[in-house]
Amino acid sequence: MREFDHFVAIDWSGARGERHKGIAIAIAEAAGGPPVLVQPPVGGFSRIEVRDILRDELPANSLVGLDLGISLPFQDCGAFFPGWDRTPKNAKKLWALIDAICDGDEHLGAHSFVNHPDARRYFRHGKDEVGDRFLLPDAIGREGRFREAETAQRAQKCRPVSNFNLVGAAQVGKSSLTGMRMLHQLRGHVPVWPMDPVPDKRITQGGSMIVEIYTGLASRETAALGGRTKLLTYADLNSALEVLDCPPVDEIGEVDDHSSDALLTAAWLRKVAPEPERWEPRCLTAQIAYTEGWTFGAL
Clarify whether residues 211 and 176 are in a common domain: no
Clarify whether residues 101 and 230 are in a common domain: no
> For 38-86, how does the pLDDT look when each residue is reduced to its tens digit (9 = 90+)?
999 999 999 999 999 999 999 999 999 999 999 999 999 999 999 999 9
> For 8-49, how does the pLDDT look when each residue is reduced to its tens digit (9 = 90+)?
999 999 999 999 999 999 999 999 999 999 999 999 999 999
Within a domain: residue 175?
Answer: yes
Clarify whether residues 199 and 220 are in a common domain: yes
Within a domain: residue 284?
Answer: no
| pLDDT score recorded for residue 202 | 58
Clarify whether residues 143 and 229 are in a common domain: no
Task: Identify the domain boundary among 119, 145, 180.
Answer: 180
Clarify whether residues 38 and 125 are in a common domain: no
**Between these two residues, 170 and 220, which has the higher pLDDT value?**
220
Give me the number of domains the chain comprises: 2
Range of the domain at 233: 6-69+184-279
Clarify whether residues 97 and 239 are in a common domain: no
Clarify whether residues 237 and 198 are in a common domain: yes
| pLDDT score recorded for residue 226 | 82
Q: Mind spelling out the 3-state secondary structure of the chain?
A: CCCCCEEEEEECCCCCCCEECCCEEEEEECCCCCCEECCCCCCCEEHHHHHHHHHHHCCCCEEEEEECCCCCCCCCCCCCCCCCCCCCCCHHHHHHHHHHHCCCCHHHCCHHHHCCCCHHHHCEEECCEECCCCCCCCCCCCCCCCCHHHHHHHHCCCCCCCCCECCCCCCCHHHHHHHHHHHHHCCCCCCECCCCCCCCCCCCCCCCEEEECCHHHHHHHHHHCCCCCCCCEHHHHHHHHHHCCCCCCCCCCECCHHHHHHHHHHHHHHHHCCCHHHHCCCCCCHHHHHHCCCECCCC
| pLDDT score recorded for residue 121 | 97
Clarify whether residues 63 and 191 are in a common domain: yes
> For 173-196, how does the pLDDT look when each residue is reduced to its tens digit (9 = 90+)?
999 999 999 999 999 999 999 999
Task: Identify the domain boundary among 115, 147, 180.
Answer: 180
Q: Chain-wide mean pLDDT for the chain?
A: 93
Clarify whether residues 129 and 274 are in a common domain: no
> For 201-249, how does the pLDDT look when each residue is reduced to its tens digit (9 = 90+)?
655 557 999 999 999 999 999 998 887 777 999 999 999 999 999 999 9
| pLDDT score recorded for residue 139 | 64
| pLDDT score recorded for residue 268 | 97
Within a domain: residue 169?
Answer: yes
Within a domain: residue 160?
Answer: yes
| pLDDT score recorded for residue 140 | 66
| pLDDT score recorded for residue 2 | 80
Clarify whether residues 146 and 190 are in a common domain: no
Clarify whether residues 206 and 274 are in a common domain: yes
- CATH number, residue 268: 3.30.420
| pLDDT score recorded for residue 222 | 93
Clarify whether residues 207 and 261 are in a common domain: yes
Task: Identify the domain boundary among 126, 157, 180.
Answer: 180
Split at pLDDT 50, 70, 90, the class of 143 is confident
